[in-house]
């Protein structure tokens, strides 16, 4: 049964132009790295997608290897689109990626034309769609000539299987060379995706290239795997990533220095009328000069809270100074 989509879905969302393109992205996008695999609740996944769309989140970020087993996040979203959002494909931006290990053998990862074309064909079947809006090379491959990877991406656009090309986890020099190769093939690099948050700002080094080449920017982990929420301020919950087997966030990350800084940031957020997470998202968008941030969530109430960050996206000079002092203390 098709979902009864909210008529007010575009009322409160903000959209930003992606680089020099004509494509507008919501400043907050839904990421499917976690919580959308076969081992997760389909009912919860469906609620996350449908309620996000009802709130103007039109952009859904995936990769071929997301979910457990790999590929199942795409299958989950494909099922939701087919069963619940028939007729709304033209209002939705689907993004997927290929680069990391997806299947066994010599053609299951990297940047070869063989892998990229095969991976996207598989992704389209799982998503039950004829094309994706954005197809990313997920990470540089030092063993494949850059021209081959860019030629494969350009060919994918010409084939109609993707409308735009994105790159992810590229360094400044790699991004400059890759975007120039794409331009020589008549294709513009639409967007670059990288890790970015208050606590991880090293990718600001990409800004000169992004500006020069008029490429959009989107960040994953804008809340630093939960460190920029109130999740860990009073201890480590048993059901949290830090308490589990996550390779990205360890219990050792919750140091006394972190707690002092995070509680001070929370106090500043409170003075702004925001939660720590809301302020962190607003700061990432402004400080990182981002087109969008990718939200991860296990329940919609988390997204609902995050969306409220849009009510105050700017910072006074004093607030910026205070944040910088806390981050470098």
Please report the pLDDT score of residue 225 as a whole number: 86
CA angle centred on 124, ends 4 and 82, rounded to 5°: 20
Chain-centroid distance of CA 223 in Å reads 12
CA angle centred on 122, ends 120 and 109, rounded to 5°: 65
> Is the overall model pTM greater than 0.75, yes or no?
yes
Question: Which position has the token pair 């989140």?
Answer: 57
Burial readout 15-48 (b: 16 or more C-beta within 10 A, e: otherwise)? beebbebebbbbbbbbbbbbbbbeebeeeebbeb
Helix 42-54 / helix 300-307 crossing angle, nearest 10 deg = 20
Give residue 2's pLDDT band: very low, low, confident or very high (50, 70, 90): confident
Stronger pLDDT, 232 or 102, i.e. the higher one: 102
φ, ψ dihedrals at 257, nearest 5°: -65, -40
Q: DSSP per residue over 194-239, as a string?
A: EE-BTTB-GGGGGHHHHHHHT-EEEEE-TTGGGTTSSTTTTS--TT
pLDDT tens digits, residue range 195-254? 999 999 999 999 999 999 999 999 999 999 889 998 878 755 555 454 455 545 456 667
Give residue 166's pLDDT band: very low, low, confident or very high (50, 70, 90): very high
Coil, strand, or helix at residue 29? strand
Contacts of 288 (CB under 8 A, 6+ apart): 196, 201, 203, 204, 217, 219
Please report the pLDDT score of residue 256 as a whole number: 87
Cite the DSSP H helix spans in the chain: 42-54, 72-84, 113-127, 146-159, 172-184, 207-213, 256-271, 276-287, 300-307, 317-327
Contacts of 106 (CB under 8 A, 6+ apart): none
Q: Which superfamily is assigned to 15-235+276-314 in CATH?
A: NADP-dependent oxidoreductase domain (3.20.20.100)
Q: CB–CB of 197/256 below 8 Å? A: no
Please report the pLDDT score of residue 14 as a whole number: 98
Q: Which of 1-5, 191-195, 256-260, 306-310 has the lowest mean pLDDT?
A: 1-5
pLDDT tens digits, residue range 13-43? 999 999 999 999 999 999 999 999 999 999 9
- Residue 111 has which token pair? 């940047």
Task: Check pLDDT > 50 for residue 267.
Answer: yes
Q: Where are the domains of the chain?
A: 15-235+276-314
């Amino acid at each position: 049964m098709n979902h009864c989509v909210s008529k007010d879905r575009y009322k409160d969302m903000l959209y930003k132009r992606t680089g020099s393109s004509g494509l507008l992205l919501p400043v907050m996008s839904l990421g499917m790295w976690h919580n959308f695999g076969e081992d997760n609740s389909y009912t919860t996944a469906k609620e996350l997608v449908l309620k996000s769309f009802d709130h103007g989140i039109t952009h859904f970020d995936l990769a071929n290897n997301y979910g457990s087993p790999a590929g199942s996040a795409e299958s989950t979203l494909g099922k939701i689109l087919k069963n619940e959002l028939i007729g709304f494909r033209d209002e939705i931006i689907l993004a997927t990626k290929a680069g990391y290990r997806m299947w066994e053998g010599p053609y299951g990862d990297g940047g070869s034309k063989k892998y990229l074309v095969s991976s996207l064909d598989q992704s389209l079947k799982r998503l039950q769609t004829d094309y994706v809006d954005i197809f990313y090379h997920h990470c540089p491959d030092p063993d494949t000539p850059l021209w081959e990877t860019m030629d494969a991406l350009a060919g994918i656009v010409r084939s109609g299987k993707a409308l735009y090309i994105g790159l992810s986890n590229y360094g400044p020099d790699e991004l400059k060379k890759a975007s120039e190769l794409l331009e020589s093939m008549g294709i513009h690099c639409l967007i670059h995706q990288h890790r970015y948050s208050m606590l991880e700002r090293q990718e600001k080094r990409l800004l000169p290239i992004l500006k020069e080449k008029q490429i959009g920017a989107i960040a994953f982990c804008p809340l630093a795997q939960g460190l920029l929420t109130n999740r860990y301020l009073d201890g480590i919950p048993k059901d949290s990533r830090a308490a589990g087997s996550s390779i990205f966030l360890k219990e050792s990350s919750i140091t006394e220095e972190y707690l002092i800084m995070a509680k001070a940031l929370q106090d500043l957020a409170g003075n702004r009328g925001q939660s720590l997470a809301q302020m962190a998202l607003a700061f990432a968008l402004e400080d990182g000069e981002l087109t969008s941030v990718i939200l991860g969530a296990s329940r919609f109430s988390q997204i609902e809270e995050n969306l409220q960050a849009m009510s105050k996206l700017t910072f006074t000079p004093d607030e910026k100074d205070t944040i910088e002092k806390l981050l470098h203390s």
